[in-house]
Amino acid sequence: MRKIVVNGVKTKLSERDYKQLLRRFDIENTEELINSSWLISIRCICGLHPPRSGHHCSQCPFHVFDEFGYGCIRMLETLKLNPSYAKLSRISVHWTYPTNRSARTEITAIRNWLLSLEKVR
């Protein structure tokens, strides 16, 4: 388990979720597309937590950061890590040629933050 505390709000990630996010924000998993853009086609962890009812992210560990929307995005915004150049979706991370360097920097910053998370029991 990995512990996350942002502005006093706490949650934990299972090792499965943590490894999925490390893969999602790993530049080594980038595919270059034919239209001068890049893609990391690894799903967000919300897909690993099917909703019981309501919003598709309702069972995601990041749901505590925003009960009405994308808690992961709200958490990244609070941490000043929400990417401006890379576009996050539930199924991928995508960016274009003009933003390549900046997007890769943003993705690496998110990965470095993940690597800094404390492991707990």
Q: What is the pLDDT of residues 24-70, one digit of tens each?
A: 999 999 999 998 999 999 998 887 877 766 666 778 888 888 877 67
Average pLDDT for 6-28:
94
The structural domains of the chain, with segments of one domain joined by +, span: 2-119
Q: Which of 11-15, 48-52, 89-93 has the lowest mean pLDDT?
A: 48-52
Query: pTM of the predicted model, to two decimals?
Result: 0.90
Residue 110: pLDDT band by 50, 70, 90 thresholds?
very high
Q: What is the DSSP secondary-structure string of the chain?
A: -EEEEETTEEEEE-HHHHHHHHHHT-GGG-EEETTTEEEE----GGGGS--SSSSTTTTSGGGGG-TTS-HHHHHHHHTT---SSSEE-SS-EEEEGGGHHHHHHHHHHHHHHHHTPEE--
